[in-house]
Every structure is written in C-alpha cells, then in structure tokens.
Amino acid sequence: MKPLRPRLLLPLALLGLLAACGGGNVKPAAPVATPVAPATPVAPVKIGVALGGGAAKGFAHIGVIKMLEANGFEPVVVSGTSAGSVVGALYASGMDAFEMQQKAVALDQTSIRDVRLFSGGLIEGRKLQDYVNAQVDNKPAERLSKPFAAVATQLETGERAVFVRGNVGQAVRASSSVPGVFEPVSIGGKTYVDGGVVSPVPVDAARQLGAEFVIAVDISSKASGQRPDSLLDTVNQSIAIMGQRLGEQELARADVVIRPQVLDIGAADFEQRGRAILEGEKAAMAAMPQIRAGVQRLQQARLQQLRDAQARASAAAAEAYQRCQDSRSRLEKLRGKEKDCAAPAR
C-alpha cells in the first residue's frame, strides 16, 4: 500500500476537524443583551398637607406627619388653620415629626398663654407669636424650608386671608385667635381672627401653594348633642358649626381626608397630647392604602401624559423631516440626493 500523498492529507484533516465540530454537546454562544432604553423620568408628585384647627387636638397632626414620612410620603407643601398653623409652621421650618414630638412633650402652656386682665381676661397671643418665631429661627414665611400658608379670617369683611410671606409668628397668632378667647390681631391696618371661621381645614391654600395631592387632616369638633365642658370648648364648637358647611365643601376638594379620633379631647387638655399624637399615627396608617393608590394613579397619569407628548413630538419631527425631503428639486429627486434635513430622533 502506497503512503498517502501530502496533498491528500490536508483535505482529510479538514474533514476530520469538521466531523469533530459536529459531534458532542457544543454550548451555543451567549446571547448579546440589547440595550434597553432608560425609563422615562417622571417628576415626583408634590404632596401637601392641610392641617385643620382644634386647639389641643392639634397634637394629632404630629402623628399624621410622622407616619407620612415613615411611609415615603413626605409633604413638600404645608397649610394650616389655628392649631394646624402652629404645627405647620414648625414643620415648614425644617423640623421632622420626631423633633416636633419632642417640642410637644416639652411644651409648657405658660410659654404660649398670656392672659390680659384689662381686656376681659382674653389671651393676647404675643407669647404664642414669640414662641413660634423662636422655633423657626425668626425666619419670614418665604424663607422657610417648605412653602407654608397660615389661614385667618379678616374680621372687617369676613374674607379668608392666606399669609404666605412675612412674620410667621404673627401669621400663626392671627390664624389661632379664637374669637372671645384671644384678642384679635391687627396687621397692616386690618383685623384678623381664627381661620376656622372660613376655612377649618385649608385645602385650597395648599393647592395655591402648588400641592398636586392634598392630604387633609380634620380634627374639628362636631355637634355631638352634648354640652361642651369649658368656655374654650364652647367657642371652638361654635366656630366649627359656623364653618361646617364651608369646611365640608373645601374638604371635598382634598384627595384624602384623615380624621384622627380626638373629638373627646378637650380644647385645653394639653395633658392628652401623647394620646392625640398616637391617634394621629393610627388614623394616618389606616389611610395609607388610599394615599398610596392615589399617588400611584397620579404618577401613572403623569407618565402617560409625558409619553403622549413625546409621541406627538416624534410624529411632528418625522413630518417635518418628510416635508423637508419633499421640497427637493426634481433633479435632486431623480438623482436620489437627500437634503440636509434635521433627522427625527429614534
């Protein structure tokens, strides 16, 4: 047998190599990942809180804010009436709920109450004004960490007054000047009393500050068929009754209404502050599924609007590009030459 010639060995080697490649378990090449376009960025929903009046019941606002923060729904806009304006001012200054709770526990009524005997035993309100200003480092409202509005009632006209600039303590004092208990406050030649007369829970003020999703906290007294225990309770319930219809209309414009179970806490019962905070926490947690669903709906609607706008812009760019190409001369079209048009984004 003659040995194979060298020129025949090469084809045989190639055949063997091909046979080896075709046999056995050969792993396929790993697929190449296709880059995915990043998700369309959507601005976060601007959450606002509208904190209602209710004297000592107002400590419940702290509990509500604490739970909102803990669940990732930190308000960026704050409006308040009466007791709500006190808590709102502190929160807008940059304090978190835990800091406010510490302030509440340490609060002594004598630091915010100054009775003037010659004015019929009414509270002047100067101490409250000074206390609030000290807590916010004497900053004017427009320089607080969050947009803030204190709502009061102009006594001469009965109109709602919304303070968003200037002396924070003075605005809170005006918002908290319960008729018959506090002396009316004079600002700029006009007289102001408690905002609960015209806006018990200031939802509209929060909207005016730019809130897109308003969480209202209603702690106002309701007519219960029982006689109030004190003068302050009587006045507060009278104000609540006067503003009840207006309050219901305004509350209907909120996205979520939280009602802590504090109606049995007296207007001057500061000893119940711990319980009021706890009731605020419980009510906020009960409303959390509603808040979460509402914010998500708003985010989805905003995302769809953004996508629709992008689609319209893309279609308009494609149409403009086609018009540009259609404007070519006859010779350019025959030659297949394209114009230097702005190509639509892909």
Residues with catalytic annotation? 82, 194
Cα separations (Å) of 334 from 319, 321, 330?
A: 22, 19, 6
Q: Identify the three-state secondary structure at position 80.
A: strand
Closest CA relative to residue 215, chosen from 290, 150, 265, 151: 290
Do 62 and 100 form a contact (C-beta atoms < 8 A)?
yes
Q: DSSP secondary-structure letter at 109?
A: G
Pairing mode, strands 185-187 and 190-194: antiparallel
Identify the burial level of 108 via C-beta atoms within 10 angstroms of its C-beta, where 0-12 means exposed, 13-18 middle and 19 or more buried: exposed
Q: Identify the three-state secondary structure at position 24.
A: coil
Cα 313 → chain centroid: 30
Cα separations (Å) of 343 from 8, 232, 250, 315, 323?
A: 58, 72, 51, 12, 12
Cα separations (Å) of 206 from 83, 227, 255?
A: 16, 33, 12
Cα separation, 211 vs 208, whole angstroms = 7
Do 89 and 168 form a contact (C-beta atoms < 8 A)?
yes
Cα separations (Å) of 22 from 13, 28, 292?
A: 14, 13, 58
Locus of tokens 């009587």: 234
